[in-house]
Structure 1
Amino acid sequence: MHSAPALLVQPLRLAGPGDHWLITAPLTTTFGWSRTGTPDGGHRFTSPCQTAVLTREGPADNLGSWFVHGFIRPGAEPLWRATFSSGTPAEITSAFTSVLADGLRSRHRDYLPGGAHYTPDTPASVLADRGWRPLPGPRDYTGHHDQVAPDLTACYRHRIGYQPRNAEVAGQVPPSWSMLAGDPKRPSWRADFTIDEPFYPLVSAALAFSDPAPVQRAAGDIPTRHLAFATVQRPPGGARPRQAPAGCTAPSSTPPVCPAPTAARRR
Structure 2
Amino acid sequence: MPSAALVLVQPLRLAGPGDRRLVTGPLTADHGWTPARAPEGGTRFTSPCRTAVLTVDGDGGSPATWTMHGCPRPGAEPLWRASFSSGTPAEVVTAFTTTLAEDLHTQHRLHRDATPASVLADRGWRASDHSPQGFHDQLAPDDWALYRHRLGHQPYDDEVARLVPPTWSMLAGSPQQPSWCAEFTIGVPFHPLARATAAFSNPEPVLRRTDQLPARHLARVTLLRRPSGCPTGTPVPTEASRPHLLPPSRPAPAPRRR
TM-score normalised by the chain length of structure 1: 0.85
Q: Secondary structure at the match of 1:107?
A: coil
Q: Which runs of 4+ in 1 moved over 6 A?
A: none
Aligned equivalent of 1:175, options 123, 147, 166: 166
1:128 aligns with 2:118: no
In structure 1, what residue type is equivalent to 2:196? A
Mapped to 1, the partners of 2:239 and 2:31 lie a distance apart of 35
Query: In the alignment, is the contact (CA less than 8 A) between 2:26 and 2:98 conserved in 1?
Result: yes
The residue that corresponds to 1:17 in the other structure is 17
Are the aligned partners of 1:41 and 1:59 in contact in 2 as well (CA < 8 Å)?
no
Asked if the contact 1:16–1:89 (Cα under 8 Å) also holds between the matched residues in 2, the reply is yes
Aligned to 2:54: 54
Once residues 249 and 13 of structure 1 are traced to their aligned partners in structure 2, the CA distance between those partners, rounded to angstroms, is 16
User: Which deviates more, 170-179 or 143-152?
Assistant: 143-152
2:100 is matched with which residue? 100
After superposition, the C-alpha distances for 1:51-87 in whole angstroms (9 at most, x for unaligned) are 0000011333232310000000000000000000000
Distance 1:262 1:184 in 2: 21
CA contact (8 A) 2:138 2:148 kept: yes
CA distance in 1, matches of 2:3, 2:227: 18
Distance 1:168 1:181 in 2: 21
2:233 corresponds in structure 1 to none
Residue 129 of structure 1, CA deviation: 1.1
Count of aligned pairs: 244
Matched residues in 2 for 1:76 and 1:7: separation? Answer: 45
CA drift at 1:253: 2.7
Q: Which runs of 5+ in 2 are unaligned?
A: 230-237
Query: Is residue 253 of structure 2 the alignment partner of residue 264 of structure 1?
Result: yes
Matched residue type, 2:254: R
Q: Which moved more, 1:227-236 or 1:163-172?
A: 227-236
- Listed as ranges, the gaps of 5+ residues in structure 1 are 113-117, 239-247
- Shift, 1:3, TM fit: 7.2
What amino acid maps onto 2:207 in structure 1?
Q
What percentage of residue pairs aligned between the two structures are identical?
56
Is the Cα contact below 8 Å between 1:83 and 1:191 reproduced in 2?
Answer: yes
